[in-house]
Amino acid sequence: MKKNIHPKWMSATITCACGSSFETGATQPLLRVEVCSKCHPFYTGQTRLVDTAGQVERFMRRQARSTASQAANSTTGAAE
């Protein structure tokens, strides 16, 4: 291995949005996550939508734009 190119490995505290935290090893001393094993639906058995970074909203906006542009193109094509 080359010297002085790898990040330092240290003890890290992982903190979840639900409030739980645990210790592990990482290259940063403090990490924050949105979902952990104590609140993830797979581990808890609860059904719940986990929306990561607004993916559902972005998809809905893309669909609305696509539908609007198709409608505009169809009305423009009919006028010609």
Residues 15-61: tens digit of each pLDDT: 998 899 999 999 999 999 988 888 887 777 776 666 666 787 888 89
* Contact between 28 and 9 (Cβ < 8 Å): no
Rounded to 5 degrees, what angle do the CA atoms 37, 46, 26 make? 15
Distance CA 50, CA 37 (A): 13
SS3 for 15? strand
Question: pTM of the full predicted structure?
Answer: 0.49
Dig out the tokens for 68 from the structure: 């609007």
Report domain extents, the chain: 10-73
Q: Which CATH architecture has domain 10-73?
A: Irregular (4.10)
Reported as half-sphere exposure (CB side, CA atoms, 13 A), residue 74 has a value of: 6
